[in-house]
Amino acid sequence: MKTTNELFMQAPAQRIFALAGDTERWPEILPHYRYVRVLREEGEIRTVAMGAWRDMIPVAWIAEQRNDECTPAIDFRHVGGWTQGMQVRWQFEPQGGGTLVRIVHELDFKFPVAAKLLGRAVVGRFFVENIAEKTLRRIKELSERG
């Protein structure tokens, strides 16, 4: 399963990257996030426990996060929860006075085909796309304020 959410923001890539990469603050700035807890930091990798709301349904996972300021990009590898194995990459592409921000989620399901199709609908559309879209819209709002 691969899903992509993207949104153009009238703000410089570094400003957006700073907001998106500061995951510890997400519960303060993203209303659909319940918590983000840093579990461990080892060099460039931090392991975070994250919880969000998908409407009224609580969801949670553990991910390893790596922020690459030079590219810029933010990578997550889900290491716990029902999205274990998911790879997530935030990309920031400067374009015409702003930045195209793209979040790509990739997950290979390890169960039968019928479950795979259900997994795409539930994990892909219901969970990933919904939360990623809310996150992008709010980051856009905040980054465009300056």
Q: For the segment 5-36, what is each residue's pLDDT rounded down to a tens digit?
A: 999 999 999 999 999 999 999 999 999 999 99
DSSP 11: S
Alpha carbon distances (Å) from 37 to 53, 72, 76, 145: 16, 23, 14, 27
DSSP 121: I
**3-state class (DSSP) for residue 135:** helix
DSSP 65: E
What domains, with CATH codes, occur in the chain? 2-145 (3.30.530.20)
**3-state class (DSSP) for residue 29:** helix
Task: Report yes or no: 101 and 90 within 8 Å, Cβ to Cβ.
Answer: yes
**106-117: average pLDDT:** 67
Res. 129 pLDDT band, cuts 50 70 90? confident
Indicate the pTM of the whole model: 0.91
